[in-house]
Structure 1
Amino acid sequence: MWGYRCFDTHIKDNRSTNSLTASTNKKKISFLVLDQGTSSTKSFLFDIQGTLEHSAKIKHSLTRPAPYHVECDPITILEACRSLIDKALSVVKAKGGTIQSMGLAVQRSTFLFWENKSMEPRTQALSWQDSRAHSIIKDFEPHQNQIKRISGTPLSAHFGGPKFLHCLIEDRTLKQEVLSGNILFGPLSAFLTHALTGTPAVDESIACRSLLFNLSTGKWSEKLLDLFQVPRSSLPELVPIKHSFGTIVPGNIQLQCVVGDQQAALIGQGGRKIGTLAMNFGTSGSVQFNVGRRPALVPGLISSILTSSNTDKIYMVEGTINACNSLFYHLEKKLNIPHEQMHWHKRCQERKTNGVFIPGFTGLAAPYWTSGFPDIYEGIDTSDPNDIIRAGMESIGLLTYDILEQIKPIATSWPKKLTASGGGARPPLLQFIADLTNLPVCHSTMKDRTAYGVYQLIRPKEKNLSKFKESYFDLTFHPSLAKDQQKSKVNCWHKALGTAGLIKNGQ
């Protein structure tokens, strides 16, 4: 239907989602959502009431060609998106229906270069896990406060600006092509939008991961562009999250929303209400807090945009955890455990450990922001794989605890319970978080909250939802750890971080 590497699709003018023909009005209306993640791309069809009608998934993989290098193939991901769109069209047409509009959620800190005219990738996509730019980060440390103040995002090799500059330092030919104006640089979402609709654009939620975005003005920052030596001409147009991105053909589908995957996950848990706090655990993890219509800067956390349109903008603060499900994939290789035998949640269920594991293979994100380093084992029985796995799981919970402690000072009230979603939100992890925070932790009944969040952004406002409500949970985990044990666990964690030199002054 699309053709291999067929980038020169026929692009049609944007149309309002409300300008349906009379014949279309007689058809059953569906809404298409693509959730483009680290390990797979998934599609979902929702009806007008928010009921899930169809879903499909195509897996893809990362490559690690060198230390600190983590890449994915943008063509493979683009073809997965196209295949899923074709399948969704077939499903809808078989029922005599039509797709009114589409929304796209995408992994955020994955960047690449591609040709402006042909839309051909010029590089592989540098994954959010990629920290090859760590070698130049020290050069920017004198500017880190300015970077955080303007962009809302801490200085890190995982984000766009350092990745851009590193690639140009390493590839002089690429540098000349960028300077000539023939090459675009941007997040994976902008490449996919360009290839699917013919329009290169980057939404504000994902632009926040570039270190080039001015959070207060909503524009590219001239100071940060100069700092990372990024020509303005090499960047896609900045647009709101809810925006007419263009028409996808075949199918004449209007792309009406592009948003970061974790923002969508928060929205899917009822996160458009100011003061909402939610956790999402997938390949990576995220703890998000809706701060309302004014940005808030919090030490160690990312300040970004939750959702935006031409008339409104809502901000959030977020703590990201690099190693969640990816941690257990990593341990499978380190411990020589076949994937089908890992079942980390079962290994951890009745297990206790007095040790500390600090995952360094992708570096630490919030609130410590340290590039990759060798994994650290403190007080762990390294001859026992299950002790390592339990300590690894606890590292996720302890980082979650640290992030929550950073959020507390800006919260006017604190929730009486925490909510969690995502494929990594398994019972032993949620129980451990309940023990650390002394709060009940509720597990979402709906597995794909990210997709549901995108649906909420593209559905007509006047339509009521069916019984799919944000507040539905199937499991609640109550605190069961004595206060002195909780304090000891946290102290051991912080002591190990300090001994390793990972806690900076003021943290």
Structure 2
Amino acid sequence: MYLIIDQGTSSTKAFLFNDRGKIIYNNKIKHSLYNPSRNHIECDAVEILNACIVLIKKAVKASNNPILSMGLSVQRSTFLFWDKKRIMPITMALSWQDSRSNDIVENLKEHSTWLYKKTGLPLSPHFGGPKYLKMIKELPSLKKKIANGNIIFGTLSSYITHALTKKLAIDHSIASRTLLLDINTCDWSDECLDLFEIPKLGLPPIKPTNYNYGKILDYKFHLNCVIGDQQAALIGQNGFSEKSVGMNFGTSASILYNSGDNPQIINGLITSILFSDSNKKTYVSEGTINACNSLFYYLEDILNIEHTQMRWDKRCKNQDTEGIFISGFSGIAAPYWVSGFDDIYYKINKNNKNEIIRAGMESIGFLVNDIIKMLTKSISMNFPIITASGGGSRDSLLQFISDLTGQIIRRPKIRDKTALGVYRILNSNYNYKMQDKDKLFEPSKDRDKITFKIKQWREIISSLK
């Protein structure tokens, strides 16, 4: 048996796979997100760690056969400080959605070009460097403690790894989301550490994604993979192959392209490590969308809709709009990188909740289209079929993306590809096969309407840049 823990923005899931790749057990525990003030989005790392431990214990109890290995996929750009000896957090974990460090980013704008070339990341409050600098300015005592080597600044993944194995580490795929990693050497960059005033001894050591991180708690099996959740999703879509592409829609969304053995910097997109082991590293070019499912949670609040009544896919199916809605609560990531702003309503009937929801859904599709166009232009190739996975890969959204891009979108019968990606790393003997029951979405032939909508979108989005 293989145990996979998939730790996401709003919940933690556990899966048991047998050696044929079949899921024989799964479980899930939700956790809270806190919004104490504007641009502040936090979670409790201890609550999440305890959920992981509970899920591991229940999975062990549910397994009829010994667990051979465990893998961990985790949300990526969520950061905290913790006590190195006690392995206890001393701050909340700042979510990847948190943008309180906007002022830090503004003050460092002159460094954005070389940072992008060095790290593959745009200068954004999304990532670890600005979050660190903001926290030590708000809590000056942290600076002295980290300089003495008493506390660690790292991702939620590295905290969970440390707590479960008693060994401190961060994997390549998530380390490449910090604004601190030299994407070419795959080591901590001295120039970046100097810019953000971070001592190297206050960071976890970097390890491959496929690596023996140590024994889990008091069990006999080991943690043999730690990886970013979106990277795992591409691997779950058969993304080990160079030039493969995939989309994954969860709380956020990502469009990922396996760029092979060398980093490929594409303006507006992110360059990260897709996967690594002791022998090689594989890179990924990625366009991230901050709000996918989280957009609809936000609309539930502002439109006063009960969660059980949202059902955004059904609301969008028979609703049309000539307008544009862009939510600004979490800003825009790829390819524009705009921090939080007031929501934009353009030619929208604000009294029609379904029209707002439809326009919100379309905003996700427009961003996907912009990312794909930027990607295909840079690599000079088109993709005959693009695979989509994740809980947000609903019919109305995928059909709209197909209409915009003019490309066929394939959705596998099993949408949760993140856990499958981790499993594929742990069990290299597994042979992935496409399923006959996968659903295809083909583009509309009404190109004039689509062309008009794209033109209108780009006029509105250009006002934000």
- TM-score in terms of structure 2 length: 0.98
Match of 2:443 among 479, 488, 493: 479
**1:345 matched to 2:313:** yes
The equivalent residue for 1:259 is 227
* Contact 1:284/1:325 (8 A) holds in 2: yes
Give, in angstroms, the shift of residue 373 of structure 1. 1.1
Match of 1:458 among 404, 417, 426: 426
The equivalent residue for 1:11 is none
Q: What does 1:439-454 correspond to in 2, within 5 Å? A: 439-454=407-422
**1:141 matched to 2:109:** yes
Give, in angstroms, the shift of residue 447 of structure 1. 2.2
Q: What does 1:50-199 correspond to in 2, within 5 Å? A: 50-92=21-63, 95=64, 97-199=65-167
Larger radius of gyration between Structure 1 and Structure 2: 1
**1:396 matched to 2:388:** no
* Contact 1:363/1:373 (8 A) holds in 2: yes
Separation in 2 of the partners of 1:296 and 1:498? 26
Give, in angstroms, the shift of residue 472 of structure 1. 5.3
- 1:195-244: CA deviation from partner (whole Å, max 9, x where unpaired): 00001100010011100000000100000000111110100000110111
Q: Counterpart amino acid of 2:150?
A: N
* Contact 1:419/1:444 (8 A) holds in 2: yes
Q: Counterpart amino acid of 1:320?
A: T
Separation in 2 of the partners of 1:382 and 1:131? 27
* Contact 2:6/2:72 (8 A) holds in 1: yes
- 1:337-361: CA deviation from partner (whole Å, max 9, x where unpaired): 0001100000000111011111110
Separation in 2 of the partners of 1:176 and 1:132? 22
Matched residue SS, 1:99? coil
Matched residue SS, 1:98? coil
Q: Counterpart amino acid of 2:6?
A: D
Separation in 2 of the partners of 1:228 and 1:418? 38
Matched residue SS, 2:222? strand
* Contact 1:268/1:470 (8 A) holds in 2: no
Separation in 1 of the partners of 2:376 and 2:279? 30
The equivalent residue for 1:385 is 353
Separation in 2 of the partners of 1:472 and 1:292? 28
The equivalent residue for 1:207 is 175
Separation in 2 of the partners of 1:472 and 1:200? 43
Q: Counterpart amino acid of 1:413?
A: M
Separation in 2 of the partners of 1:335 and 1:287? 29
Structure 2: 5+ residue runs without aligned partners? none
Q: Counterpart amino acid of 2:455?
A: N
Match of 2:20 among 27, 45, 49: 49
Separation in 2 of the partners of 1:269 and 1:62? 29
Separation in 2 of the partners of 1:350 and 1:464? 41
* Contact 1:270/1:471 (8 A) holds in 2: no
Separation in 2 of the partners of 1:372 and 1:48? 45
**1:273 matched to 2:237:** no
Separation in 2 of the partners of 1:287 and 1:447? 15
Tell me which stretches of 4 or more aligned residues in structure 1 moved more than 4 Å. 470-473
- 1:288-346: CA deviation from partner (whole Å, max 9, x where unpaired): 00111011000000001110001011111000000000000000000000001100000
Match of 2:455 among 491, 502, 507: 491
Give the share of equivalent positions with the same residue, in percent: 49
Separation in 1 of the partners of 2:337 and 2:378? 21
- TM-score in terms of structure 1 length: 0.90
Structure 1: 5+ residue runs without aligned partners? 1-29
Separation in 1 of the partners of 2:419 and 2:380? 29
Give, in angstroms, the shift of residue 470 of structure 1. 4.3
The 3 A distance-change label for structure 1 pair 211 and 464 is: closer
